[in-house]
Amino acid sequence: MELLTYSDIFISIIYFIVIVGVGYYIQIRNTVKYPEYKYFTKGLIAKLVGVTIFCLVYVFYYEGGDTVNYFFGSRALVRVLFQDFDKGIALIFNTDSVYNNWFSFNSESGFPPHYMWKDNLTFTVCRFSSLFYILGSGSFIVTSFFTACFSYIGIWKLFRLFNNIYPNYSKGVFYLMLILPTLIFWGSGIMKDSYVLGSSCWVTYNFYKVFIERKKLFWNIIFLILNIFILLNTKAYVLISIFPV
């Protein structure tokens, strides 16, 4: 199967070990100062296992679906980028260039699913995921790993915020936020939901740091703007629902 060859399985195992190793390094560096970091690697492993199951379900049970089509769209974008840098940049960054059109794709690059291409908010997921496609060496599962990591970073930030506000509830918050099965399964793969979930958590964390605590204003403002941009280009109504709260 194109999405899951023996080489994909091998490379996904390597990436899994590396990502978990980096996560464990982050954990041991911070646990003494921040006790909640004892949950960091456990949550990360749960996220990676969850997204692996998510990928297998879509490949073998559904035999396709949106997450697969998002991957194909990202692959087409990256192949255009490697063929013609100007065209690739125009497509990935959605510029006003004449290259930002359907005819920049070709038989060698492949074409993204047309129903995604014609919906700009939907195709934005392909644009965001193109970076993860490159980092993941073109593997479907590894690209999904990096999408899951993006989602996990946002969730982790909000987890830490809740720990700072309610320091005696770390274990309960860990179960509710980091290893809740439905949250892991539906909020990890190459989908709008993963980007929206991660960015929503980031926005909440950054908003609190900027307007309540007033700490590290520069970086929190930068990430607040970045994640607002992601939400506006995926599911803007989620941003509208967050701010009143």
Residue-wise pLDDT for 145-182, tens only, equals 999 999 999 999 999 999 999 888 999 999 999 999 99
pLDDT for the residue 167: 85
CB neighbours of residue 216 within 10 Å: 13
Q: Do residues 146 and 106 touch, judged by C-beta distance below 8 A?
A: no
pLDDT for the residue 1: 53
Residue with the two structure tokens 């770390």: 170
Domain-embedded: residue 103: yes
User: What's the structural domain count of the chain?
Assistant: 1
Domain-embedded: residue 75: yes
Residue with the two structure tokens 């510029």: 95
Range of the domain at 134: 6-242
Domain-embedded: residue 21: yes
Domain-embedded: residue 1: no
Please enumerate, as own/partner, the contacts of 94-97 that have beta carbons within 8 Å and a separation of 24 or more: 94/120, 94/124, 94/127
CA distance readout (Å), 58 to 3, 21, 140, 141, 220:
10, 27, 11, 11, 36
Domain-embedded: residue 127: yes
pLDDT for the residue 2: 79
- The list of the chain residues with pLDDT below 70 reads 1
Whole-model pTM? 0.95
Q: Is 243 exposed, middle or buried (0-12, 13-18, 19+ CB in 10 A)?
A: exposed
Q: What is the pLDDT of residues 101-117, one digit of tens each?
A: 999 999 999 999 999 99
